[in-house]
Structure 1
Amino acid sequence: MAFTVLCLTVVRWVPVVFVVLLFVWSTYAYIVQMCLYMVTDLVERIFYIVIFSVLLFMCIWCFIKAIFTPTAGVPFQYFLTADEKDQAEKGKAECKEVVENKGIKLRVQGRTVRGCVRFCEACQCIKPDRTHHCSNCQKCVLKMDHHCPWINNCVCYSNYKFFFLFLMYSFLFCLFIAATSCQYFVKFWTMDLSIEGYGKFNILFLFFVSIMFTISLLTLHSYHSYLITVNRTTLESLRAPVFRSGPDKNAYNRGCRKNFIEVFGRSPLLWLLPVFTE
Structure 2
Amino acid sequence: MEWKRFLSIPIFAVFLLMGFVYYVTLFVSIEDWVGLRSSDGSFHALVFSFLAFYSVFAFFVCVLTDPGRVPSSYVPDVEDRELSDQEFRRNVTHQRKCEICSTFKPQRCHHCRTCRRCVLRMDHHCQWINNCVGYWNYKAFFILVFFATVASIYSTVIFIASVLQKDWEVWGQSHSKGLYVACGVPVLGLSMTLGSLLCWHIYLMANNMTTIEYYEGVRAQWLARKSGQSYRHPFNLGVYRNVTSVLGPNVLKWLLPTAVSHLKDGISFRVAHDMKQTT
Q: 1:211 to 1:217 in 2, by over 3 A?
A: same
* Contact kept? 2:124, 2:132, Cα under 8 Å: yes
Q: Which residue of 2 aligns with 1:217?
A: 194
Calculate the aligned-residue CA RMSD, in Å.
3.2
Residue 192 (structure 1) aligned with residue 171 (structure 2): yes
Q: Do residues 60 (structure 1) and 43 (structure 2) align?
A: no
Aligned residue for 1:76, secondary structure, equals coil
Alignment of 1:35-50 (within 5 A): 35-36=30-31, 38-40=33-35, 42-50=38-46
- The secondary structure found in structure 2 opposite 1:140 is strand
Q: Which residue of 1 aligns with 2:234?
A: 251
Residue 105 of structure 1: how far off its partner (Å): 2.5
C-alpha contact (below 8 Å) 2:95/2:106 kept by paired residues: no
Alignment of 1:1-278 (within 5 A): 13-36=8-31, 38-40=33-35, 42-78=38-74, 103-105=76-78, 107=80, 117-186=95-164, 187=166, 189-192=168-171, 202-240=179-217, 249-277=232-260, 278=262
Q: TM-score, normalised by structure 1?
A: 0.76
- Cα distance in 2 for partners of 1:57, 1:27 equals 10
Structure 2 letter corresponding to 1:268: V
Q: 1:132 to 1:12 in 2, by over 3 A?
A: farther
Q: Which amino acid aligns with 2:244?
A: I
Partners of 1:12 and 1:149 within 8 A in 2? no
Change (3 A) 1:248 1:74: farther
Question: Structure 1: which 5+ runs fail to align?
Answer: 1-8, 79-101
1:115-149 Cα shifts (integer Å, max 9, x gaps): 97310132221000000000001100000000011
Which runs of structure 1 show a deviation greater than 6 angstroms over 4 or more consecutive aligned residues?
9-12, 108-113
Select the structure of larger CA radius of gyration: 1
The one-letter code sitting in structure 1 at the alignment partner of 2:76 is: G
Percent sequence identity over aligned pairs: 29
SS at match of 2:76: helix
Q: When the two structures are superposed, what TM-score results if normalisation uses the length of structure 2?
A: 0.76
5+ residue gaps, structure 2: 263-279
